[in-house]
Structure 1
Amino acid sequence: MINGYIPAARFLPFLSWTAIAALPDKANTVIVLPTGAIEQHGPHLPCSVDSVISSGVAGHALARLPETIPAYAIPPVTYGKSDEHLNFPGTLTLTGDTLLQTILEIAESLYRAGFRKLLMINGHGGQPQVLQMASREMRLRHGDMIMIPHDVFRVPSVENQFLSAQEQKMAMHAGHSETAVMLALAPECVHLEQAVANYPPEF
C-alpha cells in the first residue's frame, strides 16, 4: 500500500476530505513529511536508502505515539537534491529550486487545510539547507506556521558504542549506520557480500 512504513491509522491520505475537515484542533495536529533521496549508496545498498530510512523512522515513531497525540504522516518526498551523485547510474535528482518549491507547495496545501505544524523527517544529507529555507519562507508568509526540518540521525541513540573510532570519524556515506538501519527496515535490499570499506583520506 501507499503508506509503506506508516501505520494506516496515522496516514492522512487514508482519510476522506470530509474527515480531514472535521478533525478537531488541526492547528495543533502535527503533520509528518518524510524526505529522502534516490542516489547511489555503494554496491551493497539500494539507491532508495535515504527515502526508506526517513519513511521507516517516521513510521516506527508514529506507531509508538499514544492515540491521544494528534499526528499524521503524508506521503514522502522520495526524490531529493542529489546532484553530487549525478555520475552514478540510478541517481534521480531534483534541483534545489524544484525541491524548495515542492516543499513550499505541500506546506501551502496543508496550511489551506488548517494545519499549522509540519515536521520534516529528513534522511538525505544533501538537502537540509533547502528544508530550512522552506521553513523560513513559510514563517514569513504565515506567522503562525511552524515547520521543523529534523535529521533522522540526529536523535539520541546508542549507535556510537557499536561503531569503530574510524567509522565515527571518517564514514560519510553508506557506512555502518545506514547499513544497520537498512538491515532492520529492508534486509532483502542489503547485499553484504558486495560491501567494501572505502574511507576517504584523512583531512
Structure 2
Amino acid sequence: MHSPIPPHRYFPYLTWTDIEAMPDREHVVIVQPMGAIEQHGPHLPLVVDSAICTTVLGEALTQLDAAIPVYSLPPLYYGKSNEHWHFPGTITLSADTLLRVIHDVAESIYRAGFRKLVLLNAHGGQPQVLEIAARDLHLAHADLMVFPLFVWAVPNCAGDLLTPKEMELGIHAGDAETSLMLSILPDQVRIEQAKAEFPQNLPTDSWLTMEGALPFAWVTRDLSASGVLGDPTVATLEKGDQLLESLASGWVTALTDIYRFRQPKPERAAAIGDSPQ
C-alpha cells in the first residue's frame, strides 16, 4: 500500500504507540501528497498529477538523510479540478470541500503533537486553495507551521529539456508530464494517441496571460479541444528520467530545509523608558 513511498517513511504503518513515543514530534515533518483525478488528453491516464506528486516524494524520501524524520500521509487523490469537468472522467472536489478536508487532516496531525505539515501539490488548479488553508490553520494554531508547496517549484532541469514555447504554454499533458509518465507509469501512456495542441487566440500586445501576474479566468475547453496544452509528441523516457531525478533532488533539499525551519519571530520592541545597552 505504501509504494512508491518507502515503507519506513509511510505514516499509516506507524502504531499509535510509535507516535506517542516519538521524540521531538514538533520537529517531525508530515507530508500530505496532493494531486487530482482529471483528464490529461487522450494519451495519459487520469492519475497523472497524483502519480507525479507521490513518485517524486517517494524518490526524495528514499534519498533523504535517515536522521531527518519525515513521514508521508496517504496521497489525497482528489482535488479541485472543475476547470476540466467538461471532459469525462474528471472527478472534482469543490474548493470548500478541499478546504475542509485539509483542515480536518491538519487538526488530526496537530492533535497528535506534530507541528510541521507540508501540503505537497502537483495539480495546477488548486495552489490558491492550499495557500488559504495554510494561512487559516496557522492563525488557528500559532505553533503549527504549514507549507503549501508545488512539486514543480524546486529547481529542476525542465528549462534545459523543454522548448521556450513548452515552458510558457505546455502546462497540461504536454512534454514534461508525458515524459515523466513514461518514466513512472510507461504501460499507462498511449503515446500513439498523443497530439500537440496549444492555446489559440490568446491576447496579443497585452499584459494579460493564462497564468502569471495578470491572469484571466479560463477553463480547459476555452483553450483546448483535446484537453492537451503542450506538445506530448516529443516526450521521451530519457527526459522523464532526468526530470524525476532533478525534482527528487530538489525535494531532498527542500524537506531538509523544512525540518530545520523555525517559525520567525520579531524581536521584542524596546519599551518606553528602557535604557540603551
Distance 1:15 1:104 in 2: 22
Structure 2: gaps spanning 5 or more residues:
204-277
Pair 1:185 & 2:171 matched: no
Query: Partner residue of 1:174?
Result: 173
Amino acid aligned to 1:52: A
Distance 2:168 2:70 in 1: 36
Query: Partner residue of 1:39?
Result: 38
Task: Give the superposition deviation at 1:21.
Answer: 1.1
1:99-130 C-alpha deviation (Å, 9 max, x unpaired): 00000100000000000001111010110111
Q: How does 1:19-30 map to 2 (within 5 A)?
A: 19-30=18-29
Amino acid aligned to 1:199: F
Structure 1: gaps spanning 5 or more residues:
none
1:25-59 C-alpha deviation (Å, 9 max, x unpaired): 11000001100000000011100101111111111
Secondary structure in 2 matching 1:199: coil
Query: Partner residue of 2:195?
Result: 196
1:66-124 C-alpha deviation (Å, 9 max, x unpaired): 11001100101110000111111110100000000000100000000000001111010
Distance 2:113 2:78 in 1: 26
Query: Partner residue of 1:94?
Result: 93
Normalised by the size of structure 1, how large is the TM-score? 0.97
Amino acid aligned to 1:67: A
Task: Give the superposition deviation at 1:167.
Answer: 1.1
Distance 1:120 1:162 in 2: 27
Distance 2:88 2:134 in 1: 32
Secondary structure in 2 matching 1:33: strand
Larger Rg: 2
Query: Partner residue of 2:54?
Result: 55
RMSD across aligned positions (CA): 0.9
Distance 1:107 1:169 in 2: 34
Number of residue pairs matched? 202
Distance 1:66 1:161 in 2: 28
Query: Partner residue of 2:12?
Result: 13
Query: Partner residue of 2:147?
Result: 148
Task: Give % identity.
Answer: 51
Q: Which has the bigger relative contact order, CA under 8 A and spacing at least 6?
A: 1
Query: Partner residue of 1:118?
Result: 117
Secondary structure in 2 matching 1:153: helix
Secondary structure in 2 matching 1:184: helix
Return 87-96 or 164-173, whichever deviates more.
164-173
Query: Partner residue of 2:265?
Result: none
